[in-house]
Amino acid sequence: MMESDLKKTLQNLRTQAYHSSMKEALALMPTMLEHIGSTDAELRDELIYSAFVNWIYDQRLFSAESMRAIVHIVLDEQHMFYRMGEKEGDGVFTRAFSVLLLPLLLGVHRDSPYLSLQELDEVKTKLIRFLHQEQDKRGFVQDKGWAHAVAHAADAVDELALCTEMGKADVFEILEVIREVICDSSLVYTHGEEERLGTVVLSILQRGLLQPAAVCEWVNSFTAPVLAVQNLPEKLLIRANGRNFLQSLYFRLRWKDILNPFESALEQTLRSISFFVG
């Protein structure tokens, strides 16, 4: 099916609130995954993604076998890792909107488990690889709409961190990659990426897997990579990212009334990376 034909089909389905038979949805799914990275923002975001939200999560239209198949497609080199390494390019739309299907698929798994431990471990490994390797950090792209690869991956990692199959070692791996992504000296995140990554931390803390001392050690570990950057303007960029993330985390923990065990570590780390301490 051509992209223009897919768009017309999904526009018609949108008028019916995407109510569809499983057979019709399964027939459209390969073409939707083929065009998930379209530079047409309406097709990519408002039609393909919205249809998947309805079919995967809201209507629970797909069988466990079908959802498992979608997971494996999403994780492959033609979707989450398509043209990985580009600084700026249209490949980001395929990567970013492929990874955005994982929160839906993992959300269903948390309600009605269908993925094996091995499959969940593969999801974790691929998400961590994605966050390590993604170089295109753009949020909203003029004339093409949302890319937002980091934010979308954060949403997927959040759902993964909430899976009961994820243990202490798994969530520590997730915290490590979050620190790496935040400690970026090439740009300042301006489209809420640090907030979305902060949500992952809140989810991990609320599961109660980690001792407060271990979390405080992780908070303190932001100091070294931030202070290691001394060239301008990179020095300003990485400090802004660290400050924005830790300040946001501080207040979100405070609003949830769970700040106390982490307050001192957050204040100490913020003070250590600040240019102004008086």
Helical pair 64-74 and 22-34, crossing angle rounded to 10 deg:
0
Phi, then psi, of 141 in degrees rounded to 5:
-105, 125
Q: How does pLDDT run across 209-257, given as a tens digit for each residue?
A: 999 999 999 999 999 999 999 999 999 999 999 999 999 999 999 999 9
Residue 278: what pLDDT?
A: 63
Could you tell me the pTM of the whole model? 0.95
- Confidence grade of residue 1 (pLDDT, cut at 50, 70, 90): confident
Q: How does pLDDT run across 14-63, given as a tens digit for each residue?
A: 999 999 999 999 999 999 999 999 999 999 999 999 999 999 999 999 99
Handedness of CA 16, 19, 22, 25 (dihedral sign): positive
Structure tokens at 244: 């924005």
Q: How does pLDDT run across 120-149, given as a tens digit for each residue?
A: 999 999 999 999 999 999 999 999 999 999
Count of CB atoms situated within 10 Å of the CB of 216 = 19
Q: How does pLDDT run across 167-207, given as a tens digit for each residue?
A: 999 999 999 999 999 999 999 999 999 999 999 999 999 99
**Average confidence score pLDDT of the chain:** 97
**pLDDT at residue 277 above 80?**
no
Q: What is the dihedral of CA 106, 107, 111, 115, to 10 degrees?
A: -10
Residue 91: what pLDDT?
A: 98
Contact 155, 196 (CB under 8 A): yes
Residue 78 to residue 257: CA distance in whole angstroms: 43
Please name the residues in contact with 24: beta carbons below 8 A apart, sequence gap of 6 or more: none
Region of 145 on the Ramachandran plot (φ > 0 left; ψ -120 to 50 alpha; else beta): left
Residue 135 to residue 186: CA distance in whole angstroms: 10
Residue 165: what pLDDT?
A: 98
